[in-house]
């Protein structure tokens, strides 16, 4: 068998290379960090400021309608118009109501004349008391009927009950409308309502909503919640809110409480009912660390060598963990109360705690890898 010289040389070079590489030290890889899932404990400084999506509504609004039916004779305003209190917005054709008024006026005049004559006749004894009582009853009945006809004639004119903006018109000229049928939606936009849905956890912390006030008994300032509104496209601008209504019964579907705040309409830009806003609640003056209920995942609590409960707290700078002893309370589902040992705001290990040691380096598990445990999985 023939061996080509080129192959001999190549084989020799490969052997020399392998020998040379074997003389070098093989680098030792650094130990991999253990991936863990973390959980941020509520109740820290960051939880003192909460934001909620809000919806804007007019603080004063009304659905305007005529008290009597009829044919619309003239609509004097259009959608978007600003109107003053007492301004005429629309009229009904008053012809039929004027005829009724004239008829009852004639009946009233006749009954009034008979009543006046009856007074003189009964005093002279020319008519019986029964006849006079009948005249008086007819007079009073005619007077009431005339007052009703007069009112109905006045009701053919629709006036604005307050100053505001015509938000919507729901009828057209010459249209037959019924009594109490909505003709206009009127809104007072000088004051705006901001409505939010507040969860139970926040309602529990709120003792009062509004500006600081003095306690009558102690003459001390009472801690309160400060509320502000922010609007899209107006970065850095905050508008103070005042409390208007706080519901004490939760919504059956969402289990949240409705809170309504009010504010003056901004002068620099337009905010209309139906728009959205962000409501910022500053609860910093209300937070009492001892009274805040802190819940952590059950899997985050492990027992030490003495079976005392502890959690692993992550140091975000060194990415190492350290054990901290805690006192636990009642368990609710997959969460357990921590009554002592955590101040709030700490980042603790919620998955992977049984495999940790003091000072061990860890890495946060990617969100996509933090799968939701299935029923029957070991805790």
Spatial CB neighbours of 130, under 8 Å, sequence gap ≥ 6: none
Residue-number span of the structural domain to which 125 is assigned: 94-155
Any idea what the CATH number is for the domain that residue 146 is in? 1.10.287.470
CB 293 within 8 A of CB 276: no
Any idea what the CATH number is for the domain that residue 317 is in? 2.40.420.20
Spatial CB neighbours of 27, under 8 Å, sequence gap ≥ 6: none
Same domain, yes or no: 311 and 344: yes
Does residue 30 belong to any structural domain of this protein? Answer: no
Does residue 121 belong to any structural domain of this protein? Answer: yes
User: 364-372: long-range contacts at Cβ-Cβ below 8 A with a sequence spacing of 24 or more?
Assistant: 364/35, 364/36, 364/37, 364/38, 365/35, 365/36, 365/37, 365/38, 369/35, 370/37
Does residue 15 belong to any structural domain of this protein? Answer: no
β-strands 335-340, 347-351 pairing: unpaired
Spatial CB neighbours of 51, under 8 Å, sequence gap ≥ 6: 278, 279, 280, 281
Question: Using one digit for the tens of pLDDT, what is the confidence trace for 136-191?
Answer: 999 999 999 999 999 999 999 999 999 999 999 999 999 999 999 999 999 998 89
Burial 155-191 (b: 16+ CB within 10 A, else e): bbebebeebbbbbebebeeeeebeeeeebbbbbbbee
Same domain, yes or no: 301 and 339: yes
Mean pLDDT, the chain, integer: 83
Question: Using one digit for the tens of pLDDT, what is the confidence trace for 325-341?
Answer: 999 988 878 888 888 88
Any idea what the CATH number is for the domain that residue 205 is in? 2.40.30.170
Does residue 135 belong to any structural domain of this protein? Answer: yes
pLDDT by 10s per residue, the chain, length 379: 444 455 544 444 454 454 445 445 555 555 568 899 999 887 655 557 788 999 999 989 999 999 999 999 999 999 999 999 999 999 999 999 999 999 999 999 999 999 999 988 988 888 889 998 999 999 999 999 999 999 999 999 999 999 999 999 999 999 999 999 999 999 998 899 999 998 887 776 665 554 444 444 444 444 455 889 999 988 889 999 998 888 888 888 888 899 999 999 998 888 989 999 999 988 776 655 555 567 889 999 998 888 899 999 999 999 999 999 999 988 878 888 888 888 877 899 999 899 899 999 999 887 655 544 555 554 4
């Amino acid at each position: 068998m023939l061996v080509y010289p080129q192959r001999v040389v190549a084989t020799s070079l490969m052997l020399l290379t392998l020998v040379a590489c074997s003389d070098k030290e093989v680098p030792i890889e650094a130990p991999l960090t253990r991936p863990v899932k973390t959980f941020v404990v509520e109740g820290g400084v960051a939880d003192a400021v909460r934001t909620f999506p809000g919806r804007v509504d007019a603080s004063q609004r009304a659905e305007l309608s005529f008290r009597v039916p009829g044919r619309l004779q003239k609509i004097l305003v259009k959608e978007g118009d600003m109107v003053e209190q007492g301004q005429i917005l629309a009229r009904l054709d008053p012809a039929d109501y004027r005829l009724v008024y004239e008829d009852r006026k004639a009946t009233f005049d006749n009954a009034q004349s008979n009543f006046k004559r009856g007074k003189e006749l009964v005093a002279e004894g020319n008519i019986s008391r029964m006849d006079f009582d009948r005249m008086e009853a007819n007079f009073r009945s005619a007077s009431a009927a005339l007052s009703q006809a007069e009112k109905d004639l006045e009701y053919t004119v629709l006036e604005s009950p307050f100053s505001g903006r015509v938000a919507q018109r729901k009828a057209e000229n010459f249209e037959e409308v019924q009594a109490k049928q909505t003709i206009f939606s009127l809104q007072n936009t000088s004051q705006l309502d901001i409505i939010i849905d507040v969860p139970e956890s926040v309602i529990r912390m709120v003792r009062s909503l509004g500006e600081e006030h003095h306690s009558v008994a102690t003459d001390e300032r009472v801690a309160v919640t400060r509320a502000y509104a922010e609007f899209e496209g107006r970065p850095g601008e905050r508008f103070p809110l005042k409390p208007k209504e706080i519901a004490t019964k939760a919504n059956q579907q969402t289990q949240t409480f409705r809170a309504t705040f009010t504010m003056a309409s901004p002068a620099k830009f337009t905010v209309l009912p139906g728009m959205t806003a962000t409501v910022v609640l500053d609860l910093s003056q209300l937070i009492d660390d001892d009274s805040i209920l802190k819940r952590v995942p059950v899997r985050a609590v492990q027992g030490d060598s003495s079976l005392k409960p502890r959690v692993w707290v992550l140091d975000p700078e060194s990415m190492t963990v350290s054990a901290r002893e805690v006192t636990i309370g009642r368990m609710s589902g997959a969460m357990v109360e921590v009554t002592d040992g955590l101040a709030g705001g700490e980042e603790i290990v919620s998955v992977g705690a049984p495999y940790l040691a003091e000072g061990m380096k860890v890495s946060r598990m990617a969100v996509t890898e933090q799968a939701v445990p299935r029923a029957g999985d070991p805790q």
